[in-house]
């Protein structure tokens, strides 16, 4: 049940309970007042009839007939007017009936009347005292009210007594209780409505707004704040809600910043992992596994487009002797600088070259080398070309949409640039090296990756055999002391040649 309904219901029930308790006290007071009024009317009636009966009984001789007739008329009058008279009698000081509403009771003893209520002037010490209301006694006996008053005669004294039924009292009490009930019920209802409106404005409406704010916060509206104010419990609850919402909002912002930071770190780590997985750590060129993937994709593309694609296989001449002479650090520097010269600048979006654009950091060691900034740009001008380290001192250039003649010019430019000046400047002329290259073109020299690389390797071997420091195109007739079998794709030619 909603609080806006529960509060008025509870208020109404509380007011009704309070009204019911109040009606009990009001009904008791009203019943007491009804009984006092009934006693007063009954006493007045007894005193009035006592005066009339005294005059009749004091006559000489006493007029009992007239008194009896008066009582008979009084009984009829009493019933008709709802006075509730059950019986009325005059008795002498001995308690004998002188007149009675029931004529059969004449001269009998009236046992209903207590003996101490009898009035006898001859026995003055034992005569009963009368109250301020002139009665000798009044009491309730079951469902009846018994009233007695002294009767003063000229020669003797007596008592008039009457019994009244309480039916009229019960009727008045029931009517009073009904009036009290309806009054208290109406008052409770009006009070409940007024209090409900007051509390609805002061409490329920504010609690409803606070509940709506809480639901909004639960839905994720972290910027939601409560507009409920005040110094009471509801106002303090709203202040606590706003403080909690502020802390949640700050914590959420902190978490968002942490997520963004961790996401950037993860993306950077993924890029680094991708670079490490696809590039050669020494030269920064494509590694052999990635080269195989790039070449396979390029061959498939050129096969569909029916275009030519050339491969240049490069090998440093006498690299083993260079290593033995200058040390392995110098050999690594030589490979690194050559890789830098072979790097290409590809168009954005070209996956092959994009994976091999950044050179790695320089190797640490005691061997001096020229600065990276002083190195010339890569000598391969084809922006779609991709360079890879094939293994050891062997490198591969993939030249898309390039004829054999163009590929020979590219290879020759590379060879001439390497031979023109020492790659490792710190060694001077002793660091000068040369290279040999073999060129093969798809589809004339091979229709798949293995065949194409095998043709380029055989052309490279022919260049080596012809005296090194030269470029040879496939197909080249192998010399008499040629390799016994072609080097399959995925296996580099022997080092140190």
Write the pLDDT tens digit of every residue in 371-412. Answer: 223 234 444 555 568 999 999 999 999 999 999 999 999 999
| CA–CA gap between residue 296 and residue 309 (Å, rounded) | 11
Instruction: Answer whether residue 370 shows pLDDT above 70.
Output: no
Task: Please indicate, yes or no, if residue 373 is contained in any of the structural domains.
Answer: yes
Task: Please indicate, yes or no, if residue 196 is contained in any of the structural domains.
Answer: no
pLDDT tens digits, residue range 312-324?
999 999 999 999 9
Instruction: Answer whether residue 436 shows pLDDT above 90.
Output: yes
The domain spanning residue 154 has which CATH number? 3.30.450.20
User: Under a CB-based contact definition with an 8 Å cutoff, are residues 133 and 43 in contact?
Assistant: yes
User: Under a CB-based contact definition with an 8 Å cutoff, are residues 457 and 493 in contact?
Assistant: yes
- Identify each DSSP E strand in 166-277 by its residue range: none
Task: Give 423's Cβ-side CA count (13 Å radius).
Answer: 27
Number of domains in the chain: 3
User: Under a CB-based contact definition with an 8 Å cutoff, are residues 322 and 418 in contact?
Assistant: no
Task: Please indicate, yes or no, if residue 242 is contained in any of the structural domains.
Answer: yes
pLDDT at position 448 is 94
Average pLDDT score over the chain = 76
Q: Are residues 316 and 442 in the same domain?
A: yes
Q: How many residues does the chain have?
A: 497
Q: Are residues 323 and 262 in the same domain?
A: no
Greater confidence (456 vs 104) lies with 456
Residue of 308, 311, 471 whose CA lies nearest to 403: 308
pTM metric for this prediction: 0.48
pLDDT at position 414 is 93
Greater confidence (226 vs 436) lies with 436
Q: Are residues 261 and 378 in the same domain?
A: no
Q: Are residues 228 and 374 in the same domain?
A: no
Q: Are residues 136 and 74 in the same domain?
A: yes
Task: Please indicate, yes or no, if residue 217 is contained in any of the structural domains.
Answer: no
Which domain, by its residues, includes 48?
A: 3-172
Question: Is 401 assigned a catalytic role?
Answer: no
- Tokens 């046992």: give the residue: 111
Average pLDDT over residues 262-273: 91
Q: Are residues 318 and 442 in the same domain?
A: yes
Confidence of residue 263 (pLDDT cuts 50, 70, 90): very high
Instruction: Answer whether residue 446 shows pLDDT above 50.
Output: yes
Q: Are residues 125 and 255 in the same domain?
A: no
Q: Which of 39, 393, 394, 458 is catalytic?
A: 393
Most confident of 272-281, 363-372, 392-401: 392-401
pLDDT at position 58 is 65
Q: Are residues 237 and 317 in the same domain?
A: no
| CA–CA gap between residue 228 and residue 332 (Å, rounded) | 74
Task: Please indicate, yes or no, if residue 111 is contained in any of the structural domains.
Answer: yes
pLDDT at position 367 is 31
Average pLDDT over residues 7-22: 69
Instruction: Answer whether residue 266 shows pLDDT above 90.
Output: yes
């Amino acid at each position: 049940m909603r609080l806006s309904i529960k509060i008025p219901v509870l208020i109404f029930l509380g007011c009704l309970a309070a009204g019911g308790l109040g009606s009990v006290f009001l009904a008791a007071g009203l019943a007491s007042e009804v009984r006092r009024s009934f006693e007063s009317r009954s006493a007045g009636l007894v005193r009035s009839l006592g005066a009339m009966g005294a005059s009749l009984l004091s006559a000489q001789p006493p007029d009992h007939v007239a008194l009896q007739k008066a009582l008979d008329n009084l009984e009829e009058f009493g019933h008709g007017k709802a006075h509730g008279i059950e019986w009325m009698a005059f008795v002498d000081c001995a308690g004998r009936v002188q007149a009675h509403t029931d004529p059969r009771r004449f001269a009998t003893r009236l046992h209903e009347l207590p003996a101490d209520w009898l009035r006898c002037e001859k026995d003055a010490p034992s005569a009963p005292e009368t109250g301020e209301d002139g009665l000798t006694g009044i009491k309730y006996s079951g469902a009846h009210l018994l009233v007695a008053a002294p009767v003063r005669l000229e020669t003797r004294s007596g008592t008039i007594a009457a019994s009244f039924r309480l039916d009229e009292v019960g009727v008045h009490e029931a009517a009073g209780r009904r009036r009290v009930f309806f009054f208290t019920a109406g008052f409770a209802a009006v009070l409940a409505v007024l209090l409900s409106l007051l509390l609805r404005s002061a409490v329920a409406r504010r609690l409803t707004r606070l509940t709506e704010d809480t639901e909004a916060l639960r839905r994720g509206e972290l910027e939601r704040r409560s507009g409920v104010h005040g110094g009471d419990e509801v106002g303090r609850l709203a202040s606590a809600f706003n403080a909690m919402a502020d802390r949640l909002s700050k914590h959420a912002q902190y978490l968002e910043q942490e997520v963004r930071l961790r996401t950037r770190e993860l993306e950077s780590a993924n890029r680094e992992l991708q670079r490490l997985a696809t590039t050669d750590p020494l030269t920064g060129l494509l590694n052999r596994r990635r080269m195989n993937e790039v070449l396979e994709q390029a061959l498939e593309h050129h096969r569909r487009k029916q275009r030519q694609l050339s491969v240049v296989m490069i090998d440093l001449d006498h690299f083993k002797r260079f290593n033995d002479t200058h040390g392995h650090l110098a050999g690594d520097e030589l490979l690194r600088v050559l890789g830098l010269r072979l790097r290409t600048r590809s168009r954005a979006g070209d996956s092959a070259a994009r994976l091999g654009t950044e050179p790695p950091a320089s190797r640490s060691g005691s061997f001096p080398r020229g600065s990276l900034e002083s190195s010339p740009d890569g000598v391969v001008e084809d922006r779609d070309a991709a360079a890879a380290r094939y293994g050891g001192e062997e490198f591969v250039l993939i030249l898309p949409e390039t004829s054999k003649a163009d590929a020979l010019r590219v290879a020759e430019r590379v060879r001439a640039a390497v031979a023109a000046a020492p790659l490792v400047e710190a060694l001077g002329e002793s660091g000068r090296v040369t290279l040999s290259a073999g060129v093969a073109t798809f589809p004339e020299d091979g229709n798949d990756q293995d065949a194409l690389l095998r043709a380029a390797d055989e052309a490279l071997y022919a260049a080596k055999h012809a005296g090194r420091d030269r470029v040879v195109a496939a197909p080249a007739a192998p010399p008499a002391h040629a390799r016994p079998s072609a080097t399959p794709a995925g296996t580099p030619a022997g080092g140190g040649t």
